[in-house]
Structure 1
Amino acid sequence: MKLHLIDRSTPRDTSFTIRVNEGANFLKIWHYHPELELVAVLKSEGTCFVGDGVEKFEKGDVFLVGKDTPHMWLNDESYFAKESTLKAKSIAIHFKKDFLGTHFFDTPEMMHLSEFFNKARFGIKFLNVTQKQIEEIQTLLELKGFEKTISFLRILNELSLCKNYKSLASLGYIKSFQVTKNETLDRVYAYIFKHFKENISLVEVAKIANMNATAFSRLFKRVNGKTYSRYLSEIRIGYACRLLLEQKVNISEICYEVGFNNVSNFNRQFKIIKKCSPSSYIKTHLKNEVV
């Protein structure tokens, strides 16, 4: 799974773009671009990969992905079935941090938005988004010129003040991608995302990087601040959390679905990473949903 640089540049007559993405499924490409991306999911469900973060998405979810942060929207397998009549639909807004001028967001009144854009490099999922907020984003499609820009600023301002959100990518991943632009590790990350459900060993992944296992292990830990095995476990547990919240299959089935060979190891790794058991994780989520 190669990482693609996608052209999301804006036309000359506008400072940011708004497009409706609609079809049988979303674009299944691991990609990045210099524009920030605000996404409102209107139909469908699946898994989004942002950096090394794995998160569920469904109707009504809103995400902000930062400049040059790799990401992919992957619909559930049912959306790729030949007989499927399911549809995926979202609104995506692409804009650069300086879309209103080099120093516009450096002014005291706008500094909080500049910090908000910097925070987006980790990928942000906004929790408990209201229908009114979704409608405000949809309304942008009907506006032009000044009114469109002012409305977009209001939406960004409201989201920047949101206290209920989740950051997706880890600091280690963002540092390695945005600072070093390490193409070797980029191939490794892409390979892990594609095969994390399988039994992929350190030796196998080191070959992707054209390195021996010992040298690769040292490089990976230095860049990410964690071992390869811990990194892989975090990806698997992140995906497991998405399956747990769906409550469509039991914990034992999820264990094998995400790449673990036995339930005891799955439970052990889950507690290490999430600081609770899978069953406690479900109960906590349901409790928060009620609240």
Structure 2
Amino acid sequence: MPRGEGTAPREGPIDPGGFEVEDAGLGLHAYVYDIGSYHFNWHEELELLTIVRGEIEVCAGGRARTCTSGEMTLINPHQGHATLALSAGARALAVHFSPHVLEGVTPDWPANRFASMPGDSPRQLSAQARVRAAVAALLLEPVTRAEEAFRLRADFYHMLAGIVEAFPLTEPGVTRARHDSGNAVIAKVCAHLEQHFTERITLAQLSRIGGYNESYLSELFTRTIGMSAFDYLGRLRVRAAARQLAETRDRISDVALANGFPDAKALDTAFRRWFDKSPSAYRRHIATGPAAAEIAVVDAGFKKRFVPRADDDVRRLLTDWYEIVRSPRRRSAELAGLRTRADQLADAAADLARRLNRLEQ
């Protein structure tokens, strides 16, 4: 089924030299990457976004907030979202995973969806620390052997347990039905929307393309994709407009018309809905903001490569996240190992003493 920009399945193996890991069975793909301008997208997976460095504006579900190192946002399936660097060198850690891992385990899912922000009770703050530790464990070492794959899955489920505890399941969810016979039809409709989003599109046109009456097609689209056809169309237009605003100096009115909006006011309304700022404010930030010098460079290679494992700053931070939670457990294990070794040495010493006694007799 259709996916938003930047979420297509990767081609070929992951780069073992980068902070990146995946597990197809879990629908897991985790990586550390540099933040630039808005790359508005949506996808079927859940996504946990954790700030690694700098200040980043995170827009999710039409709400924008400024996040700093260690702060987390949980993005629900098909929730429109984007990030924007507010300081130079801004980086984040993203963990995508299949929502199916929650089915049958979390009773309120998917009737309710997760809040984007974690709770702030002592228990939830403790859970956040455990989530960061598990996420760090996922990425600190590459998976190259079978036993490491089992370790990765254990770390993943530790992360999942922390997420369920830290993020309230209180917001109404979107229940999507499976329509195997309708998937091909909806895929065809989505392909038409993606190819013709700059044009005027009516439900009657989509009905003819899909081969169903307007009412049934509208219902089928919403139940299959999780949003209406015109919500999907609006996202396509906003996504393209955001890229054009970042990459060109075209007038905002021209950007609006080039991407299917009737005028600049309509673009302004849609832009504020998703990003809580006007197109002109967004363009000013890209041109003159603290991260302006880096944004174009980051955008040119956005998610084409990830932060390398040789980056000492990222490794130190991930190690800190891991050690805060896991160090008492690690010290306990090391102490047990030392005691075992001491017992072995004591036994060896006693055996040597017995041998010496026999030789002296």
Shorter-chain TM-score bucket reads 0.3 to 0.5
Which of the pair is proportionally richer in helix? 2
Q: Which structure dedicates a bigger proportion of its chain to strand?
A: 1
TM-score, scaled to structure 1: 0.46
Q: Could you state the TM-score of these two structures normalised by the residue count of structure 2?
A: 0.39
Q: Which has the larger radius of gyration?
A: 2
Greater relative contact order structure (CA < 8 Å, 6+ sep) = 2
